[in-house]
Amino acid sequence: MIDQSKDLTPVVVVVPTYNERPNIEALSLGILGQGAQYRMVIVDDNSPDGTGQIADDLAKAHPGRIDVIHRPAKQGLGRAYIAGFDLALNMNPGLIAQMDADLSHDPADLPRLVAAARDVDLVIGSRYVAGGGTSGWTLWRRVLSRIGGRYARGVLGAPIADLTGGFKVWRPPTLARIDPRTLRSDGYAFTIESTWRALQTGARVEEIPIIFNDRVAGASKLSRRIVLEAALLVWKLRFERRYFAG
């Protein structure tokens, strides 16, 4: 068994935020608490609730371990991740992780995903492999997520159980190879597109079981527009002729 406590690979964790004041401090302390090798890039879209100021305060309290990007307005999850990935790649870390800001992804799971990334190019924290699951969701939300995941997998023929999973650990060369700046989508669609493009480059992908917890505080960002975008994107990806082999 791998001793995760001795894995000192430098990891930069990218976290987009918009109105996550109740969650950002607990999340940040949870991530940094996994070990001295963990750093964060928080990308805030000028949150009206003051999330960006809290992020700045955390950066001052933990010098050298938290960087904050302030964007002038809400521009979408995909654009936020791209900005964070740009900065993270310039830090030359051993690995780059991405997580939701609402504590749906447990920071305590990071070491398991990081350990798995020793042997593959992309690790996905998966709700839909053996041992994974969700907590606190309504029946409707569980059904919608299951159907959406199976739909995307069926259209693309991708061997991934949780294509919409947003808890990931990337090897930096793999992330650079998919050229995040050219990703076109947002929300769930962004997570699908980035994983699909990684598969197109021949990346080795592994899913590690996680329990996805429904947010305790704050408002969900899920909307009909985001769901529709994801539903249409998979068909565009299936029929596009450009492949990103490299």
Q: With bands split at pLDDT 50, 70 and 90, how would you rate the model's confidence at 245? A: very low
Q: Which residues contact 157 (CB under 8 A, 6 or more apart)?
A: none
Query: Which one, of 14, 20, 13, 28, lies nearest residue 45 by Cα?
Result: 20
Q: With bands split at pLDDT 50, 70 and 90, how would you rate the model's confidence at 6? A: low
Residue 56 within a domain:
yes
Token pair in block for residue 11 = 């990891």
Residue 244 within a domain:
no
Mean pLDDT of the chain: 87
Amino acid identity of 245? A
Question: Rounded to an integer, what distance in angstroms lies between the CA atom of residue 99 and that of residue 32?
Answer: 13
User: Strand runs (DSSP E) across the chain, as ranges?
Assistant: 11-17, 38-44, 66-70, 95-98, 122-126, 133-135, 168-170, 205-209, 211-213
Residue 52 within a domain:
yes
Q: What digits encode the pLDDT tens for the residues 18-56?
A: 999 999 999 999 999 999 999 999 999 999 999 999 999
Range of the domain at 98: 9-238
Question: What pLDDT sits at residue 154?
Answer: 80
Read off the pTM: 0.87
Question: What pLDDT sits at residue 231?
Answer: 65
In degrees and rounded to multiples of 5, residue 56 shows phi and psi of: -60, -40
Q: Which residues contact 3 (CB under 8 A, 6 or more apart)?
A: none
State the CB neighbour count (10 A cutoff) for residue 57.
15
Residue 154 within a domain:
yes
Question: What pLDDT sits at residue 189?
Answer: 85
Question: Rounded to an integer, what distance in angstroms lies between the CA atom of residue 18 and that of residue 41?
Answer: 14
Average pLDDT of 184-207? Answer: 90
Residue 13 within a domain:
yes
Residue 243 within a domain:
no
Question: Rounded to an integer, what distance in angstroms lies between the CA atom of residue 228 and that of residue 65?
Answer: 37
Question: What pLDDT sits at residue 38?
Answer: 98
Number of domains forming the structure of the chain: 1
CATH number for the domain including 156? 3.90.550.10
Residue 29 within a domain:
yes
Residue 218 within a domain:
yes
Place of tokens 């987009």: 16
